[in-house]
Amino acid sequence: MSVTASMVKELRERTGAGMMECKKALMATSGDLDAAAEELRKSGQAKADKKSSRVAADGRVVVSKNGARAVIVEVNSETDFVAKDENFIAFAEAVATAALASGTSDVAAFASEAIDGANTVEEARTELVTKVGENISVRRISFVDGSGPIGFYTHGARIGAVVALDGGDESLARDIAMHIAATNPLCVDESGVPAETLDTERRIFSEQAEASGKPAEIIEKMVTGRIAKFLKEITLVGQPFVKDPDVSVGKLLKDAGASVSAFVRFEVGEGIEKKEDNFVEEVMAQVKGAG
């Protein structure tokens, strides 16, 4: 059976694969569209598996909200170019919607959840890998629940923050989310600072103060002052509010009769070791190899 242009077009629309790949699949299956689509799915999975070891440290952060619950997800690509691709953007947004519906933050379990009525998340991811030619991964999912206002803010597509308030309103919640996105606080207040973090800072400050040769009581005051400053810098309520640095976030919340019950902040690629490409060396190596 001959393979026609209309058959290639139909298979391409159905699978999103390249024109030549569609033509080869149709020729290999004697023009059987269903069999060709299955063949492309198998080859797509093989390509996705091959690319899975490549570092995906770019991508997007997407937030989705429904009533008293919001979800924030990070979906990674290898390059900023693909992160801006409309297919990748659509996938990332669909991931957030599906995550909110599924209620699971376990990425491995989430892979088998439905994403578009026809595919699982893993099937959709595999198809996207085939289409864009890069490793794609759903890296993390986190939920924020609250009985009060929930606000969120995304800076471009690389940083996102979600916050739940007790008291206040959604406008305040969005302002606090914007602040969190900008300043990346460690926790809400002093009670959330890990003991080991405080111990480490106290030890460093003590060693620095002792080097000054001042009396013990002066050193203690110096260390106490530095710890207080450190806590203001890393806690949400201690930081100067980004839209009005003369007011702390704690004061802003107090004046509104509100408090923060939970927050989450994601930044694309944080904590991922990204390989830095040296394109000059790469080109030189290719030139020498060709010679």
In Å, what is the CA distance from 192 to each residue of 115, 235, 248, 290?
36, 8, 18, 58
Q: How do 244-248 and 240-241 pair as beta strands?
A: antiparallel
Q: Is 287's pLDDT higher than 70? A: no
Which one is the CATH code of 190-251: 1.10.286.20, 2.40.50.100, 3.30.70.3170, 3.40.50.10470?
1.10.286.20
Reported as a single tens digit per residue, the pLDDT across 181-190 is 999 999 999 9
Task: Give the least confident one: 30-39, 180-189, 220-229.
Answer: 30-39
- Per-residue model confidence (pLDDT) at position 23: 84
In this structure, what DSSP letter does residue 229 have?
H
Q: In sequence order, what are the beta bridge partners of 13?
A: none
pLDDT level of residue 272 (50, 70, 90 thresholds): confident
Reported as a single tens digit per residue, the pLDDT across 20-32 is 778 888 888 888 8
- Per-residue model confidence (pLDDT) at position 10: 84
Task: Please report, for the chain, the start and end positions of each structural domain, with discontinuous segments joined by +.
Answer: 5-51, 56-145, 190-251
CATH no. for 5-51: 1.10.8.10
Reported as a single tens digit per residue, the pLDDT across 64-91 is 999 899 999 999 999 899 999 999 999 9
Reported as a single tens digit per residue, the pLDDT across 142-171 is 999 999 999 999 998 999 999 999 999 999
- Per-residue model confidence (pLDDT) at position 49: 44
The neighbour count for residue 206, using CB atoms within 10 Å, is 16
In Å, what is the CA distance from 249 to each residue of 141, 189, 241?
27, 11, 5
269: left (phi over 0), alpha (psi -120 to 50) or beta: left
Highest mean pLDDT among 36-45, 184-193, 200-209: 184-193
Which class would CATH give 56-145? alpha beta
In Å, what is the CA distance from 205 to each residue of 75, 211, 226, 239, 270?
39, 10, 7, 20, 27
Q: Please give the Cα distance from 131 to 134 (Å, whole number).
A: 8
The neighbour count for residue 269, using CB atoms within 10 Å, is 17
- Per-residue model confidence (pLDDT) at position 290: 53
Residue 154 φ then ψ, to 5° = -120, 135
